[in-house]
Amino acid sequence: MLPMMLPAFVCGQQANVNLDYNPQKNTEGLIPFSAPLNSPEVHDDHTVTFRLKAPKAQEVKLAGVAILTALGNAREQVSFSKGEDGIWTLTVGPLEPDMYAYHFNVDGVQITDPANTCAAFTAMPPYSQLIVHGDGPAYYDARKVPHGNVTRHVYHSEVTGGERELYVYTPPGYDPKKQYPVMYLLGGSGELPSNWVYDGRVNFIMDNLLAEGKAVPMIIAIPNNQVIHRNHPRHTELTFDILEKELRSHVIPLVDKAYSTIQSPKGRAISGLSMGGRHSMVVGFRSLDLFANFGILSAGDVNAETSLTHFLNDPGVNEKVDYLFLGQGTEEAKGFMGQRCKVLHEALEKHNIKHEYYVGGHGGHDWATWRHLLVHRFLPNLWKNQ
C-alpha cells in the first residue's frame, strides 16, 4: 500500500492537489495539466526561470510593476532569449520569498503566462502569479492551524441598481452567541472582493495570527468598492458619496443582520489599499458615527490640509478615533505614491491627531506591501486593548 500513497506527498509543479507553499518548484519533472512546458520554475536558490513557446514571436519581455520592482527597476521590462526550438527563456533573481504579479509582453501585446495555473482575475485584465517559496509556509500560506470560513454573499443594491457581492471571513470557532468587531476591507482600482482572499490571503493571515495569539478574533467583511466605472470622467467626484451610501444602505446592515457584531463605531474598522485606502480615508473620516478604527494602506492626499479639513480640525477627533494606521512599502515610499502617504502623515502630526505611521517590507505599490502591512502592523494592533 505504501507505494500507492507516495504521490499524495510528492506532487508535480502546479499540481493543485494541496494548498502548497511551493507550487512552482519542479519536484517531479511534470508540467501543469494542458500546459506546453513549465513556467515559471522556482529554484531552491530563489532564482526563477520563465518560459514561453512562441516560435513566430519577434520579441518577448517580462512585464509587471510587482516583479520588476522586485528586480530593481519598475519601469524596465526584461528581455527573453529565443532558442532554436522556438522556446523563449529568461532566468532572474534571486528574489525574496513572496508572491509577485507579472505579465509577458509578446511583440507589444500584454498576455498572461499560458503555462502558469496561478492566475488572478480582477476588474482589470488578468495577470499571472509567481510564488517564490521559502523554507516552509509563509505567514500568508495555509498552515496546519484552525481555519476560519469565507462566505460569499450576493445581494441587490438599490444604490448601484444591480446584484453585488460581499465576502465575509469568520474566525475559527465563530460563536453567534458572542459579539465580534468587524473590519471592512476594501480593494484598489480594478480589484474585486475576491482579490483580498486570493492575492491578499487575508483569511490565511488571520488564521495564522490567531493561532499565534497575535490578533483579536474578528469578522472581516470585504465589499466591492467598485461603485462606478473606474474610467468614468467623474469617478473622483462621485465614488466617495456612492460608496458611503452603499455601506450605510446595504453592506453594514447585511453584515449586522447575518452575523453577531459589535454595532458601534468602536466595534468597526475600515481599511483599504490604494483606492480603497482613499475610500477608507475620505468616507471613513467623515463617518465617525460608523467607524473608530482606520487602516490607510498605500494611500493619502497631497492636498490633505484642504480636503480633510473637517477631520483634521475636529477638536474631539482623538476621543472618537481608537486606532488610525497609515502605512506604505519601502520601495513605493521613494516615489510619487509614497508622497501622498507622507503628506497625510505630516498633516496628522501637525494637528496632533494620534496615529501610527509605518514604512516597511521589500515591496512597492503591490500585494507584497499590503500583505506585509496587515500582518506586521495593522491586524496585530487592531482592537488589541479591547
Are residues 192 and 83 part of one domain? no
CB 186 within 8 A of CB 280: yes
One domain for residues 21 and 114 = yes
> Does residue 226 sit in the same domain as residue 359?
yes
Are residues 69 and 207 part of one domain? no
- The domain tally of the chain equals 2
pLDDT the model gives residue 1:
44
Q: Tens digits of per-residue pLDDT, 61-99? A: 999 999 999 999 888 999 999 999 999 999 999 999 999
Segment 341-356 shows an average pLDDT of 96
Domain annotation covers residue 19: yes
Q: Does residue 137 form part of some domain?
A: no
Chain segment 120-179, per-residue pLDDT in tens:
888 888 899 999 999 999 999 999 999 999 999 999 999 999 999 999 999 999 999 999
pLDDT tens per residue, range 229-284 = 888 999 888 999 999 999 999 999 999 999 999 999 999 999 999 999 999 999 99
Last residue of some domain: 83, 100, 132?
132
Task: Tell me the pairing of strands 268-273 and 219-223.
Answer: unpaired
Question: Do residues 224 and 196 lie in contact, with contact meaning Cβ atoms separated by under 8 Å?
Answer: no
Note whether residue 178 is domain-resident.
Answer: yes
- Summarised one tens digit per residue, pLDDT across range 200-233 is 999 999 999 999 999 999 999 999 999 998 889 9
Are 163 and 224 in the same domain?
Answer: yes
C-alpha 180/C-alpha 38 separation (Å) is: 45
40 shares its domain with 120: yes
Residue 386 belongs to some domain of the structure: no
Q: Are residues 280 and 214 part of one domain?
A: yes
Confidence label for 364 from pLDDT (cuts 50, 70 and 90): very high
Q: For residue 113, which amino acid is it? A: D
Residue with cell 480636503: 307
Indicate which CATH number applies to the domain containing 181.
3.40.50.1820
Asked, for residue 142, whether it belongs to a domain, the answer is: no
For residue 94, give the CATH number of its domain.
Answer: 2.60.40.10
- Domain span at residue 269 reads 149-381
386 pLDDT band (50/70/90 cuts)?
A: low
Same domain, 111 and 161: no
pLDDT digit string (tens) for 40-59? 999 999 999 999 999 999 99
The arithmetic mean of pLDDT across residues 360-379, rounded, is 95
Residue 23 has pLDDT above 70, yes or no: yes
Q: Which of 132, 165, 195 is the last residue of a domain?
A: 132
Tell whether 168 and 98 lie within a shared domain: no
Name the least confident of 3-12, 251-260, 320-329.
3-12
